[in-house]
Amino acid sequence: MSTNDPAVRKLLDAAAIALQGLRQDRRLRWDTLVRIDNTAEAAAAPYQFDAAQGLVHRRTCRAIPAGAALYGLAHITRDDLNRACKRCKPLPDQQPPPTDTTERADLLFGLVSVIDQFAGVLKERGKDYQKTNEGQQLGAQLDAVYRTLDRRQKEVLDTVLMALDQVVERLRTMDSALKRNGTERND
């Protein structure tokens, strides 16, 4: 069975909703499932790309206009120099900066939160991801992640896995209820 099978997809949808339901019922106490908002990291990135003007600036450049549509960049390459601001003249780093602990933790949370629900699509997604610079460094990064897990992070990981067990249990209950009733029920 693949995750694109409609019946499987529907169960996975129900799993996603069940996970939110557990949180709403206060049966899950962890604060973060996955944090998309990276505003602070983006603002602190050494380079800022103004998508409206099409220019890369150094973070502190005074030529960045008010209300610019900025994307923070951890590093730039020589290919990006044709987009460089003439005032602050950003230059590419010799080597990409190391991934910080926060990003490693985010990566871990993200992987754990999607693996159980969406394992089937990870393989397809991985094909694209391997083409990126980040993807090519992923193997090394994952090694680093597991080596640098501290006690708290290991505890969080255990909690996440236990919560996923609860989701699976709830799914089983829903599934048997559906079979008993012989009809599909919208929870």
**Min separation Cβ 20 and another protein, Å:** 6
Answer yes or no: are the C-beta atoms of 187 and 14 closer than 8 Å.
Answer: yes
Q: Name which of 79 and 152 has its Cβ closer to another protein.
A: 79
Question: Which residue is associated with the tokens 């460094």?
Answer: 137
Q: Name which of 86 and 131 has its Cβ closer to another protein.
A: 131
Site for another protein contains 92 (CB under 8 A): no
Site for another protein contains 10 (CB under 8 A): yes
Site for another protein contains 99 (CB under 8 A): no
Beta strands in 51-103 (DSSP E): 55-58, 70-73
Picking from 55, 52, 87, 56, the residue whose alpha carbon sits closest to that of residue 74 is: 56
Site string for another protein, 136-165 (x = CB under 8 A): ------------------------------
Helices (H), the chain: 6-24, 39-44, 101-129, 133-136, 138-148, 151-181
Site for another protein contains 9 (CB under 8 A): yes
Picking from 82, 73, 76, 83, the residue whose alpha carbon sits closest to that of residue 53 is: 83
**Min separation Cβ 63 and another protein, Å:** 16
Q: Name which of 34 and 177 has its Cβ closer to another protein.
A: 34
Q: Name which of 34 and 161 has its Cβ closer to another protein.
A: 34
Cα–Cα distance measured from residue 117 to residue 51, given in angstroms and rounded to the nearest whole number: 34
Residues near 167 by Cβ (< 8 Å), separated by ≥ 6?
Answer: 15, 18, 19, 22, 116
Binding site for another protein (CB under 8 A): 6, 9-10, 13, 16-17, 20-21, 23-24, 31-39, 41-42, 45, 49, 51-54, 56, 67, 69, 71-74, 76, 79-80, 82-83, 103, 106-107, 110, 113-114, 117-118, 121, 124-125, 128-129, 131-135, 184, 186
